[in-house]
Chain A
Amino acid sequence: MDTFLKEGRWSQALEQIKLWARLNSPWVIHFNSGSCNGCDIEILATLTPYYDVERFGIKLRGSPRHADVLICTGPVTRQARDRLRRIYEQMPDPKFVIAVGSCALSGGVFDGCYNVVGPIDAVIPVDVYVPGCPPRPEAIIDGVVQLLGKLQQGARP
C-alpha cells in the first residue's frame, strides 16, 4: 500500500477513474444566447427516443454546477453575453463547450445585427463546432462523440 501511494500510482488511478466517469456520463447543460430556436429543438430531438443520446450516458441538467459540457446555440446578443460568461464560469473544471449551429459558429444570418455581439467563441472558448442551420441531430451526436473521442485520447479537442 505504501509503495502504491508513494509512486503516485494512486493519483494516476484516480485520474483514470475520473476519465472513465467523464467519458461514460458527460452531463450537459444547454444555453440559448439568442438563437432562433431551430437549433434548440434539434438538440432536444437528440435527447428523445428516436436519436437518444442518453445511451452515451449524456443527460441534460438544469444547473451549470452539475454539468461538464455546455452546449451553446445562437449568436450572442448583448443582453445574453454576461449571462453566458457567468454560466461558463459557474461550471466546474474541466469544462467543455460545443457550439451548435451556424449562428453559434459565425453569427450566421444575424451577423451584423445591432444587438448581436458575435459568435460564441467571441465570448467563451469553444471546443467543438457543429455547423448547419440547424445541424441535423446526427451531426450534433457526431459533435458529442468527437468530443468524447478526443477526451479519451487525453487531449483537448
Chain B
Amino acid sequence: MSKEQFTIPIGPQHPALKEPGHFTLTVDGEVVTGASVRLGYAHRGIEKAVESRNWVQDLYLLERICGICSHIHATAYCLGVEKLAGVTAPPRAQAIRVLVAELERIHSHLLWLGVAAHQAGFDTLFMYSWRDRETVMEVLEQLTGNRVNYSANLLGGVKFDVDTRVLETILSGLDFLETRTHHYLDIVSGDRIFLQRTRGIGMMTSEQAERLGVTGPTARASGVRRDIRVDAPYAAYDRYPIQVVVETTGDLEARFIVRLKELLETYHLIRTLLDGLPEGDLKTRMPRRIAAGETISRVEAPRGELFYFIKSDGGDQPARIKVRTPTLSNMASVTQLAVGHQLADMPMLLTGIDPCFSCNDRLTTVQTSGESETWTWEKLRQYGIASYRERG
C-alpha cells in the first residue's frame, strides 16, 4: 500500500443526490480509507420556529420537515399532543392515519428503489419504479387532494374520509403494485449485473447495527428485529398487526429485499384495514391550550424510528419540541461502512440507508460519560464560532 492519500470532496451540490450534503472521502487508489460527512445545508431551525407558532400552525410546519415522510411527522406530533391534552382521536381517524402512513410508505419505498437503482447505473429500473409510483401518488391525491404534504392530520383527528370511489382506486392500485413489486423482487435478487453492485457490499452485522444505532429497514436488513409498529403500536396498529420483515445477510442486497418485502406486507395491511374500517367520527374536540407536561411519541417512518419529544407549559404554543429522525441515526453507519470499499460503491452505500437530508440537518453531540449536560445559548454560540473558524 502506498503512503499517499488523496482526499475527494463531494457536494453539497452533486450529481448523485437530490439534496445537499457534503462528504469528504480519503482514498488510496480506488479504495476508500476514511469518510466523513458534513451536514447542515438544509438546516432551517424548525425546532426553534415551532416555539413561536401555535399548536395548530406547528402541525403544518412540522409536516414540512420532510416532504417524503410528511404524514408520519404530523402523525407523531398529533399523537404526542393528543396524549398531552388527554384526548384520543376516534377509531376511524386512527385507521385513516394508518392508511395514509402506509400509502406514504409505498411511495417512499418505490421512490427509494428508483433512486438506488439510478445510483447503480440501472436507469431502466429507476424509470419503471417511478412510473409505478405514480399509481400511489394518484391514490394519495384522490384521498387527500395533494400529492405531497397531504396534511391529512388534524389535532384530534383527520380531515378526510375514505369514500367508495377512492376505495376502488386504492384496491385496483394495490393489485397493480403487487405484481410489479414481485417483479422488482425478482430483479433485485436475480439480475446478475445488479447483484454485482449489491451482493456482499456494505456488510453490516447485527452487532454492528446495534452498536451504530441504526433503525428501520437498514437495521432489519442486518437481522435486528425492531419495528415500532409492532414493538409499541400507535394509532391503529394494535388492531392491524404487521409482520416484521427481517433479513440476516446485512448487505445492500438485503436492504433492497427488506424494503420490497415490506411493500408486500403493506399491501396486505391496507387491504385488511379497508375491509374492516371502523365507522364513526373523524375528529374530536381539541382544546386550544394544551395542559402543561411533557411526553414522547414514537412512530415508524419509512426510514426507521421517528421520535418526538413535546413539552407544553400550558399555553397555546409548545415550550419545546425535539425531533429525532431516522436518517441521523443511520448516517453514522455510512462513514463506518465506507472504509475498505471501492470509491464507485459510495453512492450505493449512501443510498442504502435511504438518506433524507432535510430532516436530518441538526446539531447532535454524542455523550459517552452518562452524565447529563446542558448547553446554554452562549456555549452553543462559542461552539459555532470555533467550528467555523476551524473549517476556515
A binding-site residues for B, Cβ under 8 Å: 29-45, 48-50, 61-64, 74-75, 77, 79-80, 83, 87, 108-110, 112-116, 133-134, 136
Contacts and interface: CB of A to CB of B under 8 A. Distances in A.
B13 A83 contact: yes
Interface stretch (B29-37, B63-71, B229-237, B365-373): B63-71
B356 interface: yes
14 contacts: A31-B20, A32-B19, A32-B42, A32-B358, A35-B42, A42-B147, A42-B148, A45-B130, A62-B14, A80-B41, A83-B13, A110-B64, A113-B48, A134-B148
Given A38-B148, A41-B148, A80 B12 contact: yes
A56 B151 CA distance: 33
Contacts of A80: 12, 20, 41-42
Query: Main SS of the interface on chain B?
Result: loop
Contact of A48 (B43, B61, B131): B131
B131 A50 contact: yes
Contacts of B356: 37
B353 to A, nearest CB: 15
A40 B359 CA distance: 14
Interface string B136-157: 0100000000011100000000
A39 B67 contact: yes
Nearest to B46: A113
Given A38-B70, A134-B67, A114 B45 contact: yes
Contacts of B126: 48
A45 B48 CA distance: 32
A133 B44 contact: no
A41 B41 contact: no
Interface string B67-79: 1101000000000
B45 A136 contact: no
B49 interface: yes
B82 interface: no
B67 A33 contact: no
Contacts of A114: 45, 48-49
A113 B133 CA distance: 33
Contacts of B61: 109-110
B173 interface: no
Q: Which 3 residue pairs across A and B have the least CB separation, nearest first?
A: A38-B67, A62-B15, A48-B130
A50 B130 contact: yes
Nearest to A42: B148
Contacts of A115: 43-45
Nearest to B138: A50
B149 A133 contact: yes
Contacts of B16: 62
A82 to B, nearest CB: 10
Contact of A37 (B14, B41, B358): B358
A111 B311 CA distance: 23
Contact of A41 (B40, B68, B128): B68
A109 B60 contact: yes
B67 A35 contact: yes
B280 to A, nearest CB: 31
Contact of A113 (B44, B70, B149): B44
A75 B128 CA distance: 31
Contacts of A64: 13
B127 interface: yes
A44 B130 contact: yes
A63 B15 CA distance: 7
A32 B132 CA distance: 25
Given A33-B41, A110-B49, 9 more contacts: A31-B13, A32-B18, A35-B42, A41-B148, A42-B148, A45-B134, A48-B127, A87-B13, A115-B45
A77 B41 CA distance: 7
B112 to A, nearest CB: 11
Residue of A33, A63, A108, A113 with most chain B CB atoms under a 10 A cut-off = A113
Contacts of B134: 45, 50
B42 A74 contact: yes
Given A80-B12, A80-B41, A116-B45, A38 B131 contact: no
